Amino acid sequence: MCTVTYIPTNRGYLLTSNRDEHCNRPPAVLPDSKQFQEDGIWYPMDGGAGGSWIALKQGGTTAVLLNGAFEKHIKQTIYRKSRGLIFLSIAKQHDPLHGFTTEDLNGIEPFTLIVKTSKGLFECIWDGQNKHQQEKDSSIAHIWSSCTLYNQEVRLKRETYFSNWLNTKKISSTDLIVEMHQSSPFPNKAENFMMQGSDGISTVSITCIKVDSEQSEIKYIDNSSAIPKIFSVELLHLGWQNNLSHV
């Protein structure tokens, strides 16, 4: 939940998230098709606090969480509830944008929430004191890097690389954008998309959601083990097709 990209396509969009966490954090638990059919929402569940950082809802609405607001904040000793649980509370509401507006965020650590609905693409920020909401241009690509891990200079470097990379590619599938999220274009390992920090923080998973007019596709790559696990799901009009494989 520390690097997010949004790319519009001819029939929809791609939303991709790199989750950068401590290597000792328990791996996420993935849902099955029954959960989606019953709850109307797909999300990987954090193996620790039980929250999440990315979700797809029936109808094509998506939401994704990043740690931090505008700049790196001073972390408090205790917070009322984890941001992952707050994220789920907001994402599960009929209108996540309204959910962000009404959710009690007092005592919650700063975060950034990206929401894509039929109305548009929105950036919702809680800075620890105030809420900020801004509509983004959904017809162009965007990248967000968590300010808790990447300073402004590194964020700009990543934006430049992403923009130049897009100019050389025609993105229509999950494979190419996942390839970019797996890349290591910078000498400093802590600045890469597939990052590896000196404090045990690294990219533990990548989630890519493709939404178009006919179906939605999810690709989840778990990097917590020596052999990455790839979990792919296609949400068709008639139901689900699941596939779990190793590479």
Mean pLDDT by 10 residues, the chain (247 residues): 93 95 86 68 89 91 96 93 97 96 98 96 98 98 97 97 93 89 96 92 94 86 79 60 43
Q: Which fold has domain 3-246?
A: Penicillin V Acylase; Chain A (3.60.60)
- Residue 151 CA to residue 72 CA, distance in Å, equals 8
Could you tell me the residue ranges of all domains in the chain?
A: 3-246
Q: Which amino acid is at 231?
A: F
In this prediction, residue 246 carries a pLDDT of 39
In this prediction, residue 155 carries a pLDDT of 98
pLDDT in tens, 69-84: 999 999 899 999 999 9
The helix or strand, by DSSP H or E, that contains position 33, with its residue range, turns out to be helix 33-39
Residue whose C-alpha is closest to residue 138's, from 155, 156, 161, 115:
115
In this prediction, residue 120 carries a pLDDT of 97
Q: Is the pTM of this model over 0.85?
A: yes
- Residue 128 CA to residue 101 CA, distance in Å, equals 14
- Residue 14 CA to residue 116 CA, distance in Å, equals 10
Q: Which residues contact 44 (CB under 8 A, 6 or more apart)?
A: 28, 29, 30, 31, 52, 53, 54, 205, 207, 220
